[in-house]
Structure 1
Amino acid sequence: MSRSRKFVSLGMFIIDEFAFLDYAGNPTGRALDPQEGIGGGGTYANIGARLWLPPSETGMIVDKGIDFPPEIDAALKAYGEDMWLFRDQSPAGTTRALNRYKGDHRGFQYLTPRLRITPSLSRPATLHFICSPTRAAVIVSQVAQVEDWSPISVYEPIPDRCIPEELPALRDVLPLISVLSPNAEEALALLADPSPVSKSSIERACKSFLDFGVGPGGTGSVVIRSGSLGVYVASRSQSGAWIDAYWRTEGRVVDVTGAGNSFLGGLAAGLVLTNGDVFEAALYGTVSASYTVEQLGLPKITRTSEDVRNEEWNGDSPWGRLHELKARGIRAG
């Protein structure tokens, strides 16, 4: 991957497998199309950025095992071959995970060992990573060792490490990252806050993280993804603001899997396109998430030219949605 990349995710590509059970634990017989098995936080983040950037300016590594399905290979390349760096893992298998649904409850477990990806492969303008606070510290230290590279870092804490015991490690790494973005439940869990999720509890959590000091000299931002409530954005230099979710009615929301990752890919691309304005960049992220929730799996792209502004996703224009969202405005917290 060249230095011209505007966005790179260190998140993983995963082939998702699914088991659908009723509340009694009996198989429902439901099956999915193989393309709906494309998963991984990095994958969704990369697609979220791809809505706004050409494939040559986005990127992630895809560890490709001997069992890599040809239909998934073709589905990924439809978004642009340049955005995927396939790394041969033969004779090992591709990273896989089981999503087990029992009624509305979703369980998740890895079926194969996870492979770590390091930031030394390229020097993009924005770098997205999903990991524990301890791992985040390793990543930012590796970045610091690369000459002539100071990317905007977008850090997404991994859900199973959003526990109070991880808060000291998080506080240590916060001054070294540009944007911290847990979801609402994760933010409250890290702070051991038993309050129910609400706009007031989210705003309070955001202030706590900012008070810890995000970014060098406290110049970073906190973006708390809050599902149907929207997203709350704040920095030390500008008071917090709420951005509504694009879809405010449930009728268009089919599956929220990957929506937060996609949001952060869109946010990172927006940071590039808006010269670092995190509030406006969050509008890009919100539109990216809106396409992710409309179906099971990734949104569909129609490429009519090399200009991303002429592309359609799910038969619609992201730039049109962005214009509409801007017209709604950003509301003070």
Structure 2
Amino acid sequence: MRLRHLAISTILATLAAPGLAGAEAKPALTIYTYNSFTSEWGPGPALEKSFEAQCACDINWVALEDGAALLARLKLEGANTKADIVLGLDTNLTAETKATGLITPHGADLSGLSLPIAWKDADFVPYDWGYFAFVYDSEKLKAPPQSLAELVDGKDAPKILLEDPRTSTPGLGLVMWMNEIYGDKAADAWKGLKPKILTVSKGWSEAYGLFTQGEAPMVLSYTTSPAYHQIVEKSDRYKALVFPEGNYMQVEVAARIKGSAHADLATAFLQFLVSPEAQKVIPTTNYMYPVRDIGADLPPEFAALPKPEKSLLLSAEKAAANRDAWIKTWIETISQ
């Protein structure tokens, strides 16, 4: 492990050497990610500033609607992609992404990770995690549903905002969640949920924006989302629901692109992404749990967040094997 650390340090030192930096234009590292990551309140700006100070390089963000759109973009571009790194996929997409042949082992040391699941994937670097949840406005909804069954079957269940599973990892997460709970009765569950759906957005940012604008009292988001309102707005108005059936877990990941012209720089960035310095940025910008223990740097508001007694997570292989069929069922049921 020490040799790997030395290699990473050598890469960064070489890139930062004044003579080399001044001799030619800075190398540009192109990272495909989702738009909330690069927003002014997201982690992108802080991570960019910190990493660029170490590497004497430039980060070029390419932002798409949401995580699932990243895979579609990679498939479309194939070996001609300009990306050096893709950041914002999750475990529901990793097997399918690996199957494109565009991903190469990351080469980073992940021995310092602290995740609720064991991590052994040599191609993907996890950088945050959390639980999908329905978040509600407590000023508009005094009696929210207390279970997924109540939300699906309840005649008086509130209107909700969802994300499209074809372009959004939260939307895809809900598809996995529903199928894990309902199995071969998932189509019936979608039919029960359909009358409550106000609109389906391409990505999380659009859906959550409509929610905070008051378009609907509930939105598909994360158990950690209320922490933003508590920390930034000093408000307990928005709350997340944990269901007795369990909440579906998400682990977000980044990966190196095989054809990258900046392989060493990409590995250095992925190593930086799991460093204490970078992980301290995640909770108050991406409002997810960090992948390593950051001690007192984790805001106290996170300790008070609701935690599911039961967490759900399909294997990457099972998610990939069923993704298309389950999305087809979602399309056929929701569009009827």
- Which TM-score band (shorter chain)? under 0.3
Higher helix share: 2
Query: What is the TM-score with the length of structure 1 in the denominator?
Result: 0.28
